[in-house]
Structure 1
């Protein structure tokens, strides 16, 4: 067995990837992580999905590719330049709502919302407002984060933050957790 991807890529993937590279955006989720996001999305029929940190929409495309027709995805980012790329290539998908806003402000105003799947790919919902975002997770809902293995882009002191986050997640009684030393380092949790 290898990590080779022998299944189709999302229809807009190559165009988003090209636009991402041209834009200079360097924080996109890797393809291995994205295949997992798609597979897990398929496990939530008629699901309500949240992505914190759209970026240019690469991971968004994979999540959408796994979702069924009765599911919805709200994807949030605070950078209009990168969000425009996602809008250009994915904006015609009626299951998707792209929102330009600060993640912290959005969480503060939407604590009442509940989701079956949360991909926290930015500071909010991962290193900031973790409790608030986890409270938005339905019973049986998936919480997914990546970039938990050391990355070249990590600033000084970030390793301690990542280690602290893992310890906090592992101490929670309301989650079942799996850590994967694969791709960029993935953590998946399910609310009990």
Structure 2
């Protein structure tokens, strides 16, 4: 067994990857994480999906690839240039709502919504407003975060912040979590 992805890539993946590199965006989700997101998305038929931090749409493409025709995905980001890439390649998908918004503004404006799958790929929903976002998770819903292993682009002090975040998740009595020392470091939680 190895980590090679021997299944089809989402149709827009290569084009989004090229534009992401041209923009100089250095924090996209890696292919292994994305393949896991697609696999997990498949487990939530007719699901309500939330992605916090669209970026250029790389992980969005994989999540959409795993979703069925009755599922919906809301994905937001504050960066116009990155969102434009996602819109260009994925905006035609009627299951997807791309939103330009600051993370805190979106979370506060959408309290009360419930989701079956939340991928927190930005500070909001991970290091900021975590409790608010976890309240949006349905029982049996999946909460996924990546980049939990040290990354070369982490600012000074971020390692400590990540450790506090992990300890907090481990201490919650409403989540079962698994930590994977794989890809960029992934945590998957399931709401109890």
Specify the TM-score bucket, using the shorter chain as the normaliser.
over 0.9
Q: What does 1:92-107 align with in structure 2 at a 5 Å threshold?
A: 92-107=92-107
CA distance in 2 between partners of 1:156 and 1:18 (Å):
29
Question: How far did 1:109 drift?
Answer: 1.2
Query: In the alignment, which residue of structure 2 is the partner of 1:154?
Result: 154
2:177 partner SS: strand
- Equivalent pairs counted in the alignment come to 192
Task: Tell me which residue corresponds to 2:85.
Answer: 85
Q: Gapped runs of 5+ residues in structure 2?
A: none
Runs of 4+ in 1 over 4 A off after TM superposition: none
* Shift, 1:4, TM fit: 0.7
Equivalent positions of 1:136-175 (< 5 A) are: 136-175=136-175
TM-score (norm 2): 1.00
Which residues in structure 2 correspond to 1:6-155 (within 5 Å)?
Answer: 6-155=6-155
Deviation at 1:53, TM superposition (A): 0.2
**What CA distance in whole angstroms lies between the structure 2 residues aligned with 1:4 and 1:177?**
25
Structure 2 Cα separation of the partners of residues 114 and 155 of structure 1: 32
Secondary structure of the residue that 1:164 maps to in structure 2? helix
State the SS of the aligned residue for 2:139.
Answer: strand
Q: What is the aligned-residue RMSD (CA, Å)?
A: 0.3
Give unmatched runs, 5+ long, in structure 1: none
Q: Distance in 1 between matches of 2:73 and 2:177?
A: 23
Tell me, in whole angstroms, the C-alpha distance in 2 between the residues paired with 1:82 and 1:98: 11
